[in-house]
Structure 1
Amino acid sequence: MTALKLDGKALSQQIERDLTQRVSALVKTQQGRIPVLATILVGDDPSSAIYVRMKRNACQRVGMDSRPVVLPKETTTQQLLDEIDRLNADADVRGILLQHPVPSQIDERRCFDRIAIEKDVDGVTSHGFGLMALGERAFGSATPAGIMRLLHHYQIDVAGKSAVVVGRSPILGKPMAMMLSNANATVTICHSKTVDLPEVVRRADIVVGAVGKPEFIRADWIRDGAIVIDAGYHAGGIGDIELSGVISRALAYTPVPGGVGPMTIAALISHTVEATEASVKAS
């Protein structure tokens, strides 16, 4: 069996070409005003800084502007809330990204939920999650949204399939499960308390690795002909799934790197452009 590689890098480049044209049209419509994505980085975590820089670079590639907000690691919850309030009130800012994770003294959920729903382009607010889960219009969490777009591009219909999502974080595992369910898959969410996890994974038509641990999901857990989505990325260029042992047996898979990662950024930038278009249409 030759597995289909779900090439997120190639698709993200195609999406960026389309976004470049849409941003150009928006700039003309707004008499030269360029859409702005504000990125908030709290602390000095090197991985977070790299992720934020990648998102800012993507903004520049499509003609958008990015506004970096860098706060010290000692920042309090109230100080971060004040910064988010300022960005919410700024008409030039069309999207707000609060890079996860934040330092432990900050109430992350409270800060996520302070982001205005129309600027929640990373899909992190409770309000946005609720709307998405109900099938209403909202910007879904960027990584799951990118995965769904990747599946759609490769004409992989998840309806009727058994999907297992390993991981239940509020910005990846849970929204991923809701999006798959909304697309008519039958979804099981697994976690550290799941009994006989390998056997649960073996029954799946679709396996999504969203646990945040290097190669936690072993190759022999995954059945032949499965669709394998690896949403992890760790040192050495490996993901949450032992991909080397499943590529020859899978129906389709996302490579690491070059699969889910580029689609996360593409979804975030797409959402910001959509937010700008909606604002212009409403004005």
Structure 2
Amino acid sequence: QPKLVGFLANDDPAAKKYAEWTAKTCAETGCGFELRKVDKQDLEEKITEANEDKAVNGIMVYYPVFGGKQDAYLQNCVSELKDVEGLCHKFVHNVYHNVRFMDEEETMKCIIPCTPLAIVKILEYIGVYNTVITYGNRLYGRTITVVNRSEIVGRPLAAMLANDGAKVFSVDVNGIQVFTRGDGIKLKAHKVEDIDTTLEQVVAQSDVVITGVPSPNYKLPTKLLRDGVVAINFSSSKNFEDDVKTKASIFVPSVGKVTVAMLERNLLRLTDYQNDIREKPAKSG
């Protein structure tokens, strides 16, 4: 039975809800889950202990803990072979550079951050990806707006969508950037440019609008949306107005359950990698 350990070192209600979902889903699917509530000052030491514990297959931390650079440091404290959230430097680098495997032999696929991966899977399921086109170009011709540019979700999501061929407008309080694959469908990885435009202008062009603003006061006006848009909210707050379905052909109000499913997917993948690595010396001997 794969075992996942979650570290909770804050009082954030969204983090607690995520922890509850994780525990419930793991219980239903037969994965082991242990929530460890720790003082934030002890968190690094506790992560290191879990890295070294062979009984632990996956580690996750419910962020934010300190915020900013200290949280980025903690993300890199988790062993890449146990990083179910895909937040260590190697995995983040690989997402941005469209590197799909951890090893040169291409036997170990990279771990992708859970919430961006959940949103991609939802878009695949509802048919936004064009399965006729070759893998890696299946969003070619799509325009998508992501209202969030956090390092945990918004930025990697924009990169992943652009790497699959979409034109992505990435919106946050500091302005708007456009993530693209450049000219045509031949570029391997995305590029990013700052642009002088408005939320109203980019949303009006978008086939898909994805929101993740962590505030109950933020509402994206329905009148800005084009008819038939796909609207997805990954914030714990309701970012769309109540009448969003008057414009949206598909509305996804939350992605939490799919995110936990992707967490388990990553856990199973990492457990397989750990088992393969342990077996390799025996096979060669």
- Report 1:5-16 matches (<5 A): none
Q: Determine the C-alpha separation between the residues in 2 that align with 1:104 and 1:185.
A: 30
Identity of aligned residues (%): 25
Tell me if 1:276 matches 2:243: no
Structure ranking higher in helix proportion: 1
Q: Determine the C-alpha separation between the residues in 1 that align with 2:120 and 2:27.
A: 25
- Contact kept, 8 Å, 1:206 with 1:226, in 2: the verdict is yes
How many equivalent residue pairs?
238
- Contact kept, 8 Å, 2:114 with 2:259, in 1: the verdict is yes
Greater length-normalized contact order (CA 8 Å, ≥ 6 residues apart): 1
Q: 1:65 aligns with which of 25, 29, 32?
A: 32
CA apart distance, 1:146: 0.6
Alignment CA distance shift 1:50-1:172 (3 Å): same
2:231 match: secondary structure: strand
The amino acid across from 2:214 in the alignment is G
Tell me if 1:178 matches 2:156: no
Q: 1:126 aligns with which of 78, 89, 94?
A: 89
Structure 2: gaps of 5 or more residues: 102-109, 130-138, 176-196, 280-285
Q: Determine the C-alpha separation between the residues in 2 that align with 1:185 and 1:106.
A: 30
- Report 1:92-111 matches (<5 A): 92-103=55-66, 107-111=70-74
Tell me if 1:84 matches 2:47: yes
Give the structure 1 partner of residue 173 of structure 2. Answer: 192
Q: 1:247 aligns with which of 213, 220, 245?
A: 245
- Contact kept, 8 Å, 1:168 with 1:211, in 2: the verdict is no
1:262 match: secondary structure: helix
Alignment CA distance shift 1:220-1:172 (3 Å): same
Deviations 1:12-61 (A, max 9, x none): xxxxxxxxxxxxxxxxxxxxxx2110100013444422321221221111
Structure 1: gaps of 5 or more residues: 1-33
1:107 match: secondary structure: helix
Q: Determine the C-alpha separation between the residues in 1 that align with 2:207 and 2:221.
A: 16
Structure 1 residue runs of 4 or more that deviate by more than 3 Å after TM superposition: 43-47, 103-106
2:248 match: secondary structure: coil
Q: Determine the C-alpha separation between the residues in 2 that align with 1:47 and 1:141.
A: 17
Give the structure 2 partner of residue 209 of structure 1. Answer: 211
Give the structure 1 partner of residue 223 of structure 2. Answer: 220
Q: Determine the C-alpha separation between the residues in 2 that align with 1:119 and 1:131.
A: 16
2:76 match: secondary structure: helix
1:93 match: secondary structure: coil
Q: Determine the C-alpha separation between the residues in 1 that align with 2:11 and 2:207.
A: 40
Q: Determine the C-alpha separation between the residues in 1 that align with 2:149 and 2:157.
A: 9
CA apart distance, 1:105: 10
CA apart distance, 1:113: 1.1
Once superposed, what is the RMSD of the aligned Cα atoms?
1.9
- Contact kept, 8 Å, 2:14 with 2:236, in 1: the verdict is no
Give the structure 1 partner of residue 193 of structure 2. Answer: none
Give the structure 1 partner of residue 144 of structure 2. Answer: 163
